[in-house]
């Protein structure tokens, strides 16, 4: 039985190496320190430019799911700070309760068949993460609601491109709980366990767990895979996020987590026509869920910027605000004062 398990893990590992060639890579990790210290970090890797801005969304915003006349509608219960992509989607963020969401590419995603203006309720994929941040304070709340499948997430091409958006969603909360949401063969698959602290792109998360089983028998102090493939980044992320010191010293914890996510990044300028998964890291975020501080690290800017939630107005009387970063604006340190009142962007809808 042990031999069979090892062979299965090895086969899964080989499959991962083959399929991970086809995707744009990103990495996401969750650190659990002492005395409630929880930190989530992610990298955004993309072959071309993917302009990002930070947005402050207060409570009470009326939302529409951008999937036709029968789109999901809601009013935001919680305020959030998010990172946008092209100002058409929320791709990363944290709400005022410390719930963090990250969208990562997953080429194997297959969404349910959806017909606009039919009886079925829909939500455009551009709003998937924002829906969760607006409505839930914990991972368990989100899992309980989404597993009911009251609506489907529908996708389409990224506007102005021939790229069909295929993503999976990771969540972590201030208690250290984790969940991964994927649409596989038209069905929503939810992986819910606080031990799911590492995640990359292809293959599906179930197979990512298989690679971890394979490498756990090989001490990381002796050998770790070092390429930019999703499979190798997953191994390094899983090993290092567990190996760094468990502490409640926030400076030490943040430095360690930044070190891990940078270890899993791809230097700017590196790409491959034959291996699309080797794409440059464009930006990274690190969310301190205990102290409610959100960090943004643009690789084209030497300074890390961050925003302390205690300095923001998330009330319904608060204004939507934007910290412009898409043009590599040069900020440094705590930057809440640089958010400017701005009309909210329009989320991308279906083709």
Handedness of CA 32, 182, 215, 254 (dihedral sign): negative
Let me know how long the chain is: 351
Q: For position 58, what pLDDT does the model report?
A: 98
Average pLDDT over residues 58-85: 96
Position with higher pLDDT, 346 vs 4? 346
pLDDT at 8 over 50: no
Q: For position 115, what pLDDT does the model report?
A: 80
Confidence of residue 174 (pLDDT cuts 50, 70, 90): very high
Rounded to two decimals, the pTM is: 0.86
Residue 249 CA to residue 34 CA, distance in Å, equals 8
Residue 160 CA to residue 148 CA, distance in Å, equals 34
Query: Are the C-beta atoms of residues 57 and 80 closer than 8 Å to each other?
Result: yes
Position with higher pLDDT, 309 vs 17? 309
Average pLDDT over residues 167-173: 95
Q: Is residue 26 flagged as an active site residue?
A: yes
Domains of the chain: 2-341 (3.60.60.10)
| Burial tier of 30 (Cβ tally within 10 Å: 0-12, 13-18, 19+) | buried
Confidence of residue 209 (pLDDT cuts 50, 70, 90): low
Query: Are the C-beta atoms of residues 341 and 70 closer than 8 Å to each other?
Result: no
Catalytic residue among 9, 12, 16, 26: 26
Q: For position 42, what pLDDT does the model report?
A: 95
pLDDT at 280 over 90: no
pLDDT at 205 over 90: no
pLDDT at 201 over 80: no
Name the H helices within the chain.
2-19, 128-135, 139-146, 205-215, 230-243, 250-263
Residue 16 CA to residue 321 CA, distance in Å, equals 41
Quote the percentage of the chain above a pLDDT of 90. 60
Q: For position 135, what pLDDT does the model report?
A: 98
DSSP label at 144?
A: H
């Amino acid at each position: 039985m042990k031999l069979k398990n090892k062979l299965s893990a090895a086969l899964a590992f080989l499959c991962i190496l083959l399929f991970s060639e086809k995707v744009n890579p990103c990495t996401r990790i969750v650190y659990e320190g002492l005395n409630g210290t929880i930190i989530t970090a992610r990298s955004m890797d993309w072959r071309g430019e993917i302009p990002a801005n930070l947005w402050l969304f207060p409570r009470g915003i009326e939302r529409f799911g951008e999937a036709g006349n029968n789109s999901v509608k809601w009013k935001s219960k919680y305020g959030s700070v998010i990172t946008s992509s092209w100002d058409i989607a929320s791709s990363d963020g944290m709400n005022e309760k410390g719930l963090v969401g990250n969208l990562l590419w997953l080429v194997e995603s297959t969404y349910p068949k959806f017909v606009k203006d039919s009886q079925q309720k829909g939500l455009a994929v551009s709003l998937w993460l924002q829906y969760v941040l607006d409505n839930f304070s914990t991972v368990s709340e989100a899992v309980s609601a989404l597993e009911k499948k009251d609506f489907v997430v529908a996708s389409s091409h990224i506007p102005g491109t021939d790229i069909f958006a295929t993503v999976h969603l990771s969540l972590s909360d201030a208690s250290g709980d984790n969940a991964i949401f994927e649409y596989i063969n038209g069905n929503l698959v939810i992986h819910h366990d606080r031990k799911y602290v590492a995640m990359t792109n292809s293959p599906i998360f179930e197979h990512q767990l298989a690679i971890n089983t394979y490498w756990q028998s090989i001490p990381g102090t002796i050998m770790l895979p070092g390429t930019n493939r999703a499979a190798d980044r997953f191994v390094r992320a899983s090993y290092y996020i567990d190996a760094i010191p468990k502490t409640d010293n926030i400076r030490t914890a943040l430095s360690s987590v930044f070190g891990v996510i940078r270890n899993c990044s791809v230097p700017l300028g590196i790409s491959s026509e034959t291996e699309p998964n080797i794409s440059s890291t464009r930006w990274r975020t690190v969310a301190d869920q205990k102290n409610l501080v959100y960090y943004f690290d643009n690789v084209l800017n030497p300074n890390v910027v961050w925003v302390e939630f205690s300095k923001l107005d998330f009330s319904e009387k608060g204004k939507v605000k934007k910290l412009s970063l898409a043009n590599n604006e040069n900020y440094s340190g705590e930057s809440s004062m640089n958010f400017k009142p701005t009309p909210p962007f329009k989320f991308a809808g279906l083709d």
